[in-house]
Chains A and B, each alone.
Chain A
Amino acid sequence: MSKKQLALVIDLNVCVGCHACVTSCKEWNTSGWAGPLPDLNPYGADPNGVFFNRVQTYECGTFPDTETIHFPKSCLHCEEPPCVPVCPTGASYKREEDGIVLVDYDKCIGCKYCSWSCPYGAREFDPVQGVMKKCTLCVDRIYDKTLEEDRRKPACVLACPASARIFGDINDPNSEAAKAIRDNGGFQLMPEWGSKPANHYLPRRKTTTTLHPDELVRVDNPLKAEGEKPRPAFTTPTIDGASSW
């Protein structure tokens, strides 16, 4: 546990599903170390491209008692990555120094075996270069000394308008990420496979509101006179916004 393990902590309670992380990830990575990320047939009927991060939307419950959950998913940088040992060339590897799982594009032969061995579907094949690609945790950003210190974070974290993403060393108990996991009951996806994903998710918080029947009735309209305001005479002066026609 003492080893450094960089990861993302994603707050499902905060994510609004705006896809800002998706676009900023694509923008940064397609022009960075991992790029270019292909976009085939981008304006056609069936566009197909490589993304490191995608936001999906789920709904639970039955109408009208439903809840919408926006669920961003990228490579989880597992502590026991099942994709790494199966790679026949050693192109897939987990960095000792910070726990980031990467693909060496110069060694990848494009056999797709690693994608079969990832239960999360986090790896996407680049048909143009013929190599497997995946989230790099913006490894080319977070160590970039030319950036100001508070900008040395993955592009998705910086882009999130709701601050649903926290980046940090989850094995350092004093990091913001570790604290968030500890304090908010952070959990891992599909723990049953023993891959110990480093990225954690913070659960939805249950919010309840108690509504009393009298709160549903307008107190300033005791006669229940809803409906349209009466149409004044043609000659009556009108004030925009105050008239009902």
Chain B
Amino acid sequence: MKPAFSVIFLTTLIGAGQGLLIALTAGQLYAGGGSGGFYALGGALALALLCLGLVASVFHLSNPQRGWRAATRWRTSWLSREVILLPVLCGLVFLYAVIHAFGWAPVVIRLGNGATLDLPLVLGLLATLASLALFVCTGMIYACVRFIRQWASGWTVVNYLMMGLASGFTLAAAYAQLQDNALAGFLAGSAVLLTLLALATRAFQLWRNATGQPRSTLKSAIGLHHSQIRQVTQGFMGSSFNTVEFVAPGGAETVKGLSVFFLAVGFVAPAALLLAGLPVLAFLCQFVGLLAERWVFFAAGSHVQNLYYQARG
């Protein structure tokens, strides 16, 4: 498939934003509540990433002025569900940041064992839930395309979640270190674990895609039951939507090379940099790696319809 840069930036940016938000909430739980400028500024950073993602997504549409219509089919379309959930999450994060900025922390829920949940934490947990749901929506947009076998599995959702968490926690660690916050160690440790876990699940998907078999053949595509069929012509001389949209520029060599690149730069190097106590550098390195990862994810998808476009001329 032809990689769409708008979608590459959308998914990596909101992934990091969602991960950052979950990291902040995890930090809040770990440190036992608390409020203030650290969380407010972190929330604002997450909100900025989400909004940048929204801006990137608009470039994917040919008619963005009708974008609002994309929220109408939430019953059947994962894309529609994402379109609804993203602004909802933005709203929650805005509230989260504002409440933290004012340091307003009334107790909302009193648990049976005497523990309490204050408003900032409840908002953090709500935003975490929305973030997780958004990860599922974003992943399912690709996982439900049955005709691209590289995408059509639960591993797509798992990887979107894992990479979002890894980059978000790395960003949180970098942010905590810059702010000289006590949570820096906890966040950096979690980021290393999540990055390595993301490496494992993504590497598994690479292996799974490399060994899988396509479900359709030219035989079933044109319904001709002969053991030797070859296409003589596509019926036209130039290119068409079908020969451009479903083909990755650069070919298999580029995909292979970039796969090695993103495994090293997106996962291995950031984990090493985090362990070396350089979380800012780790995040920058990881983000570049994840951009390459998303490019490969698109480019490695081979669509069933390509069966009809095997010979040029």
Contacts and interface: CB of A to CB of B under 8 A. Distances in A.
B9 to A, nearest CB: 15
Interface string A106-134: 01111111011111110111010011000
Given A86-B76, A107-B69, A193-B146, A56 B308 contact: yes
A169 B305 CA distance: 27
Interface stretch (A47-55, A138-146, A149-157, A210-218): A47-55
Given A59-B229, A130-B62, A112 B222 contact: no
B230 interface: yes
A190 B60 contact: no
B241 interface: yes
A12 B242 CA distance: 23
Contacts of A130: 62-63
A127 B71 CA distance: 23
B288 interface: no
A110 to B, nearest CB: 3
Interface stretch (A1-9, A61-69, A220-228, A233-241): A61-69
Interface stretch (B42-50, B175-183, B184-192, B231-239): B231-239
A159 interface: no
Contacts of B110: none
Contact of B220 (A41, A55, A59, A189): A189
A196 interface: no
B5 to A, nearest CB: 14
A89 interface: yes
Nearest to B71: A88
B240 A192 contact: no
Contacts of A107: 66, 69
Contacts of B231: 56-59
| Interface size class of chain B, counting residues whose CB lies under 8 Å from the partner chain | 35 or more
B77 A87 contact: yes
Contacts of B1: 116
B141 to A, nearest CB: 8
A82 B76 contact: no
| Interface size class of chain A, counting residues whose CB lies under 8 Å from the partner chain | 35 or more
Interface in B214-231: 215-216, 218, 220-224, 226, 228-231
Interface of B: 1, 60-64, 66-67, 69-73, 76-80, 83, 141, 144-148, 215-216, 218, 220-224, 226, 228-242, 244-246, 303-306, 308-309
B241 A125 contact: yes
A117 B147 contact: yes
A148 interface: no
Nearest to A113: B79
16 contacts: A54-B236, A67-B226, A86-B77, A88-B73, A88-B80, A89-B72, A90-B69, A111-B62, A113-B79, A119-B304, A121-B242, A121-B309, A190-B220, A191-B220, A193-B215, A201-B223
Contact of A61 (B223, B226, B306): B226
A189 B241 CA distance: 21
A187 interface: yes
Interface of A: 12, 19, 22, 41, 45-51, 54-62, 67-69, 71, 73, 82, 84-91, 107-113, 115-121, 123-125, 127, 130-131, 187-193, 201, 203-204
A46 B64 contact: no
A42 B73 CA distance: 37
Given A56-B233, A60-B228, A192-B216, A48 B223 contact: no
A60 B224 contact: yes
Contacts of B244: 48
B147 A203 contact: no
A202 to B, nearest CB: 10
A55 B146 CA distance: 26
B1 to A, nearest CB: 8
B233 A119 contact: no
B241 A89 contact: no
Contacts of A111: 60-62, 70, 79
B222 A58 contact: yes
Contacts of A19: 235
Contact of A85 (B66, B76, B238): B76
Contacts of A125: 241, 245
Nearest to B221: A190
Given A113-B79, A187-B223, A189-B220, 15 more contacts: A47-B238, A58-B230, A82-B146, A85-B77, A87-B73, A89-B72, A111-B79, A112-B245, A117-B146, A120-B305, A124-B240, A190-B216, A190-B304, A191-B220, A204-B224
